[in-house]
Amino acid sequence: MLLRKCKVPPIEAEDKNGDHVQVVVRCRPVNPFEEKAGFDRIVTMDRTSKCLKIQNNIDNFGLTRKTKQFTFDRVYDAKSTQCELYEESVRPMVEQMFLGYNVTIFAYGQTGTGKTFTMEGNRRERGIMQNAFKQIFEFVKTKKFSNNTCTATIQCCYVEIYQGKMRDLLNSSRPVRIDTSNLKLPCEGLRSFTCQSEEDMEHCRKLGYTSRMTACTYFNEYSSRSHAIFVVTCDLLNTKTRKVMSQSKLNLVDLAGSESLQRSKATDLRLKECCEINLSLLAVNKVISSSMSGKSYIPYRDSLLTMFLQDSFGSPSTKTLMIANIGPTAFSYKETLTTLEYAHKAKKIKNTPKKQTCKLSAKEKYRKTLEELVQCRRELEQEKKLDEKLKIQTVQMMQDAVKVLLQVQGVDHQDIQEFLKFLTENSDHLQNFSDLQNSMQFFLGNLDFIPVQDKPAN
């Protein structure tokens, strides 16, 4: 087991494991058209080594077969389930929203590769959205029951970008326009709904989904012709002090699919849509390239999509997960290779400055401590039995975390002192593994709600 000890400040700001854009690749099954035409399967994956290989098509002389290899944060082959993808790659990202981060999860790839299936699911399998709604309300309920010091306000809205215009998918009668000065939601006129349950959110999703622009194209019977962004905002309020403890959001993005103009055989409106989609995806590509090369000017303003998602690329308060969807056969070799190269490039974007030599701000330190504890709890849950060394280490880690918080400016000292007391009194009575887990759960449940002001630490 990998049990990392919480560091007592100063904590070095360079994060070795998590602040790059996370990139996973998902390959859909062979479709009936590819099956019938007998296209070769050209993509192979190894989930353990996270490595993916793609073979090129045999050239005109049938001579060369070259293989290109890529490594990503995770790879999912055609047999992988929605549930596996969610549990391994998405759940830890959504968890970050409760720590005050803005989280963006987006599906990218050629048309017909399964972006909408991945995000919205179908009648048989829940997609990322439904699973995220469940996770959010599980969190809200746990917190409300574990202590009554906090309330969470969860709101959602659903917007589509179609042919360079924004449209509110939950209220199409009102005009919507971009407003980047509004940090919480870079939009004006977009209607937000307050949700009390997972079902409320699902209702909004379904409502928006049915209003989306779709059309039958050469590649996909139900092709999305727009970029759709479902935004969940989460405001945590301390009921005792009435202070807002954190405001964060989750962007769930189903991008329209890229298409080769030549191969798509599109004409008229479909052709216009196709051009518009490709242009906005090119703008995303340029933003990724500029963020990666550390340029000071990032061309966010090149498209509505990049303006709306501005804080998803290269911002220190954002965690981003890109799901690159691809097809498995030689039918789309070129497009698949382009998606993989693009995704590989995105993997190099860092959401934090390269190296910070200054100390972390109080809020960052607080978040980091919570992150370490959440990670520790996850690792603990995978353990089969509790040994004495593990117990001592974990309790020590919780105590260190409390000390970190005590040194952070703006923390409500009285609350933290209470936890320290709780830990000291209880550590000797931890008899078994579930005691330790409960204690950790209790600790995290309460710790999450201690307000921290964003002042620099001493």
What does the block give as tokens for 129? 């959205």
Contact at 8 Å (CB) between 219 and 264? yes
Residue 376 CA to residue 433 CA, distance in Å, equals 14
Per DSSP, the chain holds a count of helices (H) and strands (E) of: 14, 16
How many residues belong to the chain?
Answer: 458
Sites for ligand ATP among residues 122-141 (CB under 6 A): 122
d(CA 30, CA 20): 31
Contact range with ligand ATP by CB under 6 A, out of 45-53, 115-123, 138-146, 191-199: 115-123
Interface pick for ligand ATP out of 22, 96, 111, 149 (rule CB under 6 A): 111
Nearest-CA neighbor of 207 among 184, 230, 187, 225?
Answer: 230
Distance (Å, whole) CA 6 – CA 102: 23
Report in angstroms how near the CB of residue 107 gets to ligand ATP at its nearest: 7
Q: Which is nearer to ligand ATP, 227 or 347 (CB)?
A: 227
117 binds ligand ATP (CB under 6 A): yes
CB of 218 to ligand ATP, least distance (A): 10
Largest CA distance in the chain: 77
User: 6 or 228: whose CB is closer to ligand ATP?
Assistant: 228
Binding mask 23-42 for ligand ATP (x = CB under 6 A): -----xx-------------
378, 251, 348, 352: which is closest to 305 by C-alpha?
Answer: 251
The single residue among 114, 208, 314, 327 that binds ligand ATP, judged by CB under 6 A, is 114
Min CB(71)–ligand ATP separation in Å: 21
- 410 sits in the region (left: phi over 0; alpha: psi -120 to 50; else beta) called left
Candidates 86-94, 113-121, 141-149, 425-433; binding stretch for ligand ATP (CB under 6 A): 113-121
Among 129, 166, 178, 256, contact with ligand ATP (rule: CB under 6 A):
256
Query: What one-letter code names the amino acid at 92?
Result: P
Closest by alpha carbon to 216, among 269, 163, 260? 269
Q: Which two tokens stand for residue 449?
A: 């709600």
Query: Measured between alpha carbons, how far is 56 from 40 in angstroms, rounded to an integer?
Result: 10
**Region of 238 on the Ramachandran plot (φ > 0 left; ψ -120 to 50 alpha; else beta):** beta
Residue 113 binds ligand ATP (CB under 6 A): yes
Please identify, using beta-carbon distances, which residue of 100 and 114 lies nearer to ligand ATP: 114
Residue among 122 and 453 whose Cβ is closer to ligand ATP: 122
Whether 156 contacts 204, CB under 8 Å: yes
- Candidates 89, 116, 135, 352; binder of ligand ATP (CB under 6 A) is 116
Of residues 296-325, those binding ligand ATP (CB under 6 A)? 325
Query: Of 28 and 205, which CB lies nearer to ligand ATP in the complex structure?
Result: 28
Number of residues that bind ligand ATP (CB under 6 A): 18
Q: Which of 24, 52, 102, 112 binds ligand ATP (CB under 6 A)?
A: 112
Residues 209-248 that bind ligand ATP (CB under 6 A): 220, 222-224
Q: Residues in the site for ligand ATP, rule: CB under 6 A?
A: 28-29, 109, 111-117, 122, 220, 222-224, 256-257, 325
